[in-house]
C-alpha cells in the first residue's frame, strides 16, 4: 500500500495546504468585510469547471491505478509463486503509437487555441488513429503472449499483466468517446469555443494516460 499512501499523502497534502490557506486568516462569523466578498478563495480563472472536473476524475483514476500497483507489489511479496514476465518487445512500438496519439491531440489543442480548424481536424484524426492502433497493438501483444503459453492462469505476474493493460486500454476507450464528440464538433464546424474545450480535455486526458503508461510499462519492465 506504500505507493497508494504516497499518492494520497501528496494529494491530501496539497488539498490541505490550499484549504488551510483559505481558512486561517478568515473570520467566518464576521459578515461582509471586504476580502471575503472579493472571491479571494475562488480558484483562479483558468480553473474552469471542465478542467477541474477532469482533474478530479484523474485523481480518482490515479487512485485506481495506484491501488492496482500496490496490489501488484503486495501480491509479488506475499506469495512465493511469482515468475516475472518479460514484456514483449512489441510494447515499445505501442508506446511510440501512444506518444504519437498524444502529440496529435496536442496539435488539435494548439490548433483550437489559434483558431485553425484544419489543424484541429488533422490533429484529432492523427490522435484517434494512433490510439486505435495502440489498442490493436495491445491486442497483438496479448495474442503473442497467448501463443507463447502465457495465459491468464499461468502465473500471477501474467494475470496482472493482462489486468493492468486491460484497465489502461479501457480508460483509452472511454477517452475515445470524448474524442468522438470532439471530432463531431470539429467536423460540423461548431463554435471554436466548444471545440477548444473538447480538444483540450482530450489532450490533457491523453497526456495523463501516456504518463500513466510510462509508469506501468516501467513497472512491468523492472519487476
Nearer to another protein, 80 or 89 (CB): 80
Q: Does 29 bind another protein (CB under 8 A)?
A: yes
Among the listed ranges 48-56, 83-91, 126-134, 183-191, the one in contact with another protein (CB under 8 A) is: 48-56
Phi, psi for 125 (deg, rounded to 5): -60, -45
DSSP secondary-structure letter at 190?
Answer: -
By CB under 8 A, name the one of 44, 45, 81, 149 that touches another protein. Answer: 81
Among the listed ranges 3-11, 95-103, 124-132, 142-150, the one in contact with another protein (CB under 8 A) is: 3-11
Backbone φ/ψ region at 85: left (φ over 0), alpha (ψ -120 to 50), beta: beta
By CB under 8 A, name the one of 6, 10, 14, 43 that touches another protein. Answer: 43
Q: Does 45 bind another protein (CB under 8 A)?
A: no
Q: Does 184 bind another protein (CB under 8 A)?
A: no
For the CB of residue 66, give the shortest distance to another protein in the complex, in Å. 8
For the CB of residue 159, give the shortest distance to another protein in the complex, in Å. 4
Nearest Cα neighbor of 2 from 85, 94, 66, 90 is 66
For the CB of residue 135, give the shortest distance to another protein in the complex, in Å. 19
One DSSP character per residue, 86-152 reads PPPTHHHHHHHHHHHHHHHHHHHHHHHHTT-HHHHHHHHHHHHHHHHHHHHHHHHHHHHHHHTT--T
By CB under 8 A, name the one of 2, 14, 53, 190 that touches another protein. Answer: 53
Nearest Cα neighbor of 61 from 197, 176, 220, 175 is 175
Q: Provide the greatest CA pair distance for the chain.
A: 71
Q: Does 49 bind another protein (CB under 8 A)?
A: yes
In Å, how far from its chain's centre is CA 131?
13
d(CA 140, CA 174): 20
d(CA 149, CA 146): 5
Q: Does 41 bind another protein (CB under 8 A)?
A: yes
For the CB of residue 182, give the shortest distance to another protein in the complex, in Å. 17
User: Rule CB under 8 A: which residues touch another protein?
Assistant: 1, 4-5, 8, 11-12, 15-16, 19-20, 22-23, 26, 28-34, 36-41, 43, 47-49, 52-53, 56-57, 59-61, 63-64, 67-68, 71, 74-75, 78-81, 152-153, 156, 159, 163, 167
Amino acid at each position: 500500500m506504500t505507493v497508494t499512501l504516497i499518492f494520497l499523502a501528496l494529494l491530501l497534502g496539497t488539498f490541505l495546504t490550499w484549504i488551510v490557506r483559505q481558512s486561517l486568516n478568515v473570520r467566518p462569523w464576521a459578515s461582509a468585510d471586504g476580502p471575503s466578498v472579493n472571491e479571494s478563495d475562488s480558484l483562479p480563472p483558468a480553473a474552469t469547471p471542465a478542467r477541474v472536473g477532469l482533474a478530479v476524475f484523474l485523481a480518482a483514476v490515479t487512485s485506481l491505478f495506484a491501488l492496482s500497483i500496490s496490489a501488484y507489489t503486495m501480491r509479488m511479496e506475499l506469495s512465493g509463486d511469482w515468475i516475472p514476465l518479460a514484456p514483449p518487445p512489441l510494447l515499445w512500438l505501442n508506446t511510440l503509437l501512444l506518444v504519437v496519439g498524444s502529440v496529435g491531440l496536442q496539435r488539435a489543442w494548439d490548433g483550437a487555441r489559434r483558431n485553425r480548424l484544419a489543424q484541429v481536424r488533422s490533429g484529432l484524426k492523427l490522435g484517434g488513429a494512433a490510439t486505435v492502433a495502440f489498442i490493436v497493438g495491445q491486442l497483438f501483444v496479448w495474442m503473442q503472449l497467448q501463443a507463447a503459453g502465457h495465459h491468464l492462469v499461468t502465473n500471477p505476474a501474467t494475470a496482472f499483466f493482462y489486468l493492468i493493460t486491460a484497465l489502461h486500454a479501457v480508460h483509452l476507450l472511454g477517452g475515445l468517446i470524448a474524442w468522438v464528440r470532439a471530432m463531431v464538433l470539429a467536423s460540423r464546424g461548431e463554435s471554436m469555443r466548444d471545440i477548444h474545450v473538447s480538444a483540450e480535455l482530450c489532450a490533457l486526458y491523453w497526456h495523463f494516460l501516456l504518463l500513466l503508461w510510462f509508469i506501468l510499462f516501467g513497472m512491468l519492465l523492472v519487476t
